[in-house]
Amino acid sequence: MESIGGFDGMGFRSKRGRRVQGPDEQQELCLEFLEAIFGASKDVSVTRLENCTNCKGSGIKPGTKPKKCRKCGGKGQISSSMFTPLGEFRQVFPCNSCGGAGQSITTCNTCRGEGRVRKKTTLRLEVPAGVQSGNQIRVRSEGSVGRRGGPRGDLVVSIYVQPHQHLKRDGNNIRTTCKISYIDAIIGTTVTVPSITGKAELKIPAGIQPDTTLVMARKGAPALGKPNNRGDQLVHIQVDIPRHVSGEERTLIEQLSKLRHGQPINV
């Protein structure tokens, strides 16, 4: 005799009594630019499944007891036979009355027999230094509780980082722009630029060309999981060429032009 669709002579495990791991819960967390770089301790609000306090997670109404299922006689399965020229074929299915549990219950009024209810809670999350938008942090065993005492799933937190007014993240590098006058571009200067630690001084060499990028080594963001491995800060230099100059400025510029071309200057 061959059985199809089940196990001949073997009972199904009860769905109602089986311990099942709880599902993962998804949550989003918005960070300020510098929080993502240096790490932060943040409160995360999570709505997850918890054991029903009324039935203590059993799903059974307090004061009642499970009864043997009348349809399957407590076996949790039903079978049907079909005779063919090749012999008898028997199909075994979970009982559709008790769901394969072999018992019928009076369900808890609070959780409707689920054994779990959704509750809101707040968790403290330690965000590591160096995270970026799109990163996910998995917190083990902080998801929803499992059925019938099953283990919790995980909490998966997706990171979004707010943009900064002056700084931009490029991998582990930090980019910013600095505008200088054409005079400073010619003779050089020292400027103050924003950085992840506040203000920083940057020396502009004489004769710098427009759209030059200066590198401030190891002034960038730390690599995720490697706080001592930092990127650079890249400063893009823009040279401000005025559209209009005063008469005195024009005279001086013309004299400078003559000087560079070897022409005499009228003093």
pLDDT tens string 7-58: 333 334 445 556 889 999 999 999 999 999 999 999 999 999 999 999 999 9
Clarify whether residues 122 and 190 are in a common domain.
Answer: no
Average pLDDT of the chain is: 90
Task: Please report the pLDDT score of residue 258 as a whole number.
Answer: 84
Considering 129, 161, 193, which residue would you say is the last residue of a domain? 161
Considering 110, 143, 161, which residue would you say is the last residue of a domain? 161
Q: What domain count does the chain have? A: 2
Distance CA(158)–CA(7), nearest Å, equals: 43
User: What is the domain extent for residue 103?
Assistant: 2-161
| pLDDT 10s digits, 194-228 | 999 999 999 999 999 999 999 999 999 999 999 99
Task: Please report the pLDDT score of residue 104 as a whole number.
Answer: 87
Clarify whether residues 148 and 209 are in a common domain.
Answer: no
**Assigned domain for 219 exists:** yes
Q: Is the pLDDT of residue 187 over 80?
A: yes
Clarify whether residues 246 and 155 are in a common domain.
Answer: no
Closest alpha carbon to 9 in 77, 95, 102: 77
Q: What are phi and psi of 104, to 5 degrees?
A: -110, 145
Clarify whether residues 120 and 153 are in a common domain.
Answer: yes
**Assigned domain for 266 exists:** no
Closest alpha carbon to 173 in 126, 132, 128: 132
Task: Please report the pLDDT score of residue 11 as a whole number.
Answer: 39
